[in-house]
Chain A
Amino acid sequence: DTGVSQDPRHKITKRGQNVTFRCDPISEHNRLYWYRQTLGQGPEFLTYFQNEAQLEKSRLLSDRFSAERPKGSFSTLEIQRTEQGDSAMYLCASSGTSEQETQYFGPGTRLLVL
């Protein structure tokens, strides 16, 4: 257990539905990252926050995806109008902002879109 928690751990939804995932980072970490990982691939960067500011969003991320970190603590990732291609493991990680920062990953949320 790294101290990063994610909820839910598993989500099955029908195509077209909206889903929301939550991530609680390690409390003293001010950077929070979202990744997507599919089978046989490394984690693919989606977006990251420094405190409550969203500093970068991957160009691979469509407008159906949105993330928030309203108080600089927990974060939510919402996917609207889900598609089958959204099926993946969604990983959250947190880190400090030191030069040699280590990212600690949560257990992930596995999404299956039917």
Chain B
Amino acid sequence: QKEVEQNSGPLSVPEGAIASLNCTYSDRGSQSFFWYRQYSGKSPELIMFIYSNGDKEDGRFTAQLNKASQYVSLLIRDSQPSDSATYLCAAPPRGMNRDDKIIFGKGTRLHILP
């Protein structure tokens, strides 16, 4: 049973600081990961995708993947109040097998303090 684990939070970060969100996974075969942002009452929206070890940067967001340690993280620089949301880590299917489906963590609630 593949699992994706996240701390549910809430994680409170002062405005302008760096928010660090972490996710661990159980399936060593997982090759790639998504980070989704979900505002209260809304559906998830994709913000980052990473499949290589190391860092991937997109604007204020940096995703970090460490396959040896089986964790993936999301850093948000210069945090803004609009970043307050739940962040979901997800491991997508690895192929077209019947058992392959995206696995979501429960999400971490992030609260940016003005």
Using a CB–CB cutoff of 8 Å, the interface residues on chain A facing chain B are 2, 33, 40-45, 48, 50, 55-56, 89, 91, 97, 99-108, 110
Contacts and interface: CB of A to CB of B under 8 A. Distances in A.
A89 B102 CA distance: 18
Interface stretch (B11-19, B37-45, B56-64): B37-45
A55 B46 contact: no
Contacts of B95: 99
A45 B101 contact: yes
Contact of A56 (B8, B42, B46, B101): B101
B34 A102 contact: yes
Nearest to B34: A102
A56 B98 contact: yes
Nearest to B4: A42
Interface stretch (B68-76, B77-85, B104-112): B104-112
Contacts of A44: 104
